[in-house]
Structure 1
């Protein structure tokens, strides 16, 4: 049990999890989510991390090297199973349609968490990790690293069409010829992003660079989805850029 000043610490549930569950394949061929289920978020103590999970599958919160958990306060300790290993915190809901929030405290940082459980047919993640402001970067397919602070958004294509009136409707969407920038303002929820093309729809990762979601590619069409609610965004200029679509061009020193 963690020491917790002023808040009752929760004991770790030792339910004999089989960690090989982390190697589970997709639940069904109809699952629209792509092979990647990793959520990467820029750490901000003022911005909660919203995590989508599914029953029966532990979601791995990956901590930084030498980061140790010292406390966890979770609203619902009955319907969420929690397991700790060095550098990792595993969360597993018992059923879909659950919601809770909590605070994770380590020797380095304090994380605000918003946890939701969904069904295997919806968007969900198996891994969550954070990057710090000084590490805030994007990686190109060639392995080169591009720091976000050196990327001042350049509005190359701005004629995006936004359809839908959900609370997470973007204020603006544009691209700089390489990345898609989605201005979310100050959202209370964090929807998943699905790219839609001739091959179907698939989940894409994004980085949080407030107030933007930054997707590391260009997309002809994409959906912002949370549960059954969605907002559609269409890029009429897709394919008109002289740069390769969806790829990061080599950066000049």
Structure 2
């Protein structure tokens, strides 16, 4: 059952160099106070409010706080007025220094927010925050891609039999590669030739991002490692990529070289 709370008592920018990930939602092409962020459960979203102005968070249409799973908790509940109805959370600061955090658990997801109040006229505050959610579609192609890769990389380093294509994406579709796969050691990002190439980041265990180096072969970017999650960034656009076929152990390189067709031979010294 959906319900209403009149008062409850009880975060594509990353701030680099910190021990945590804080996401500042980005304003749209119209009014910058109407903001969007792509949802990932490992991030904290920063909301900047102003005294005397309300902030609205809108979740997915079929997402809400119910009596069984619903939870809303605030570090300093006395300094904020909070109301919840359907997929909307509305709140506004009541005091001059109410900076705190907000945790929301809906019927579908858990959200973490950092709430702070801006001095009047100093920065752009948040009026409305909406989320972009992971889409239920794979980035990589399946049998068609397997046949293509088998021909294109014949006698090269990609082991088609061991190829993992179980990659899923969320965020800005414009950055999506035409194909994405790994061979148990390297990760391959294929792009159209007319596309600007994004930077590729690895998501670290603490939620921070690390810029990765890659080599280019034709229209393919080759990252010399595997990872459970990547971010592609180009300007303000961000695409999150999840490797659902990730194997933390990878696989042993029995050849001892970077090329599957070569074998390193060790000779005993006389």
TM bin (shorter chain) = 0.3 to 0.5
Max Rg structure: 2
Q: TM-score, normalised by structure 2?
A: 0.43
Q: Identify the structure with the greater strand proportion.
A: 1
